[in-house]
Structure 1
Amino acid sequence: MRISVILGHPYDKSLNHAIAATVADVLNNNGHDVRLHDMYRENFDPVIRGRNL
């Protein structure tokens, strides 16, 4: 199964990071195709900007 784990926490030593890494590792070890996305590390911008007309 393909699974995306999405993480949105700025502090890389947080409990959220530890949980996301553990989830990804366990799923991967059980044969799943896992992609861990750290939105802060990927510089994700959550603001949708409109076009200037």
Structure 2
Amino acid sequence: MAKQLERGRQWYAIHTYSGYEENVTENLKQRIESYDMHDKIFDVLIPTEKKIKIKNG
């Protein structure tokens, strides 16, 4: 899934299993570094949400 942004940039969503988001992010950042792709991949974001758990309520 891609969306055109200013200056021809695009964004992509990567599906991963729950609990593996940090691992996927670190792996992707390492690949960006090792393949010198800083000019093609600018940022890696993990969307998060806060969950409130009520115990004995």
TM-score, with length taken from structure 1: 0.39
TM-score, with length taken from structure 2: 0.37
- Report the structure number with the largest CA radius of gyration: 2
More strand by share: 1
Greater relative CO, 1 or 2 (CA 8 Å, sep 6+): 1
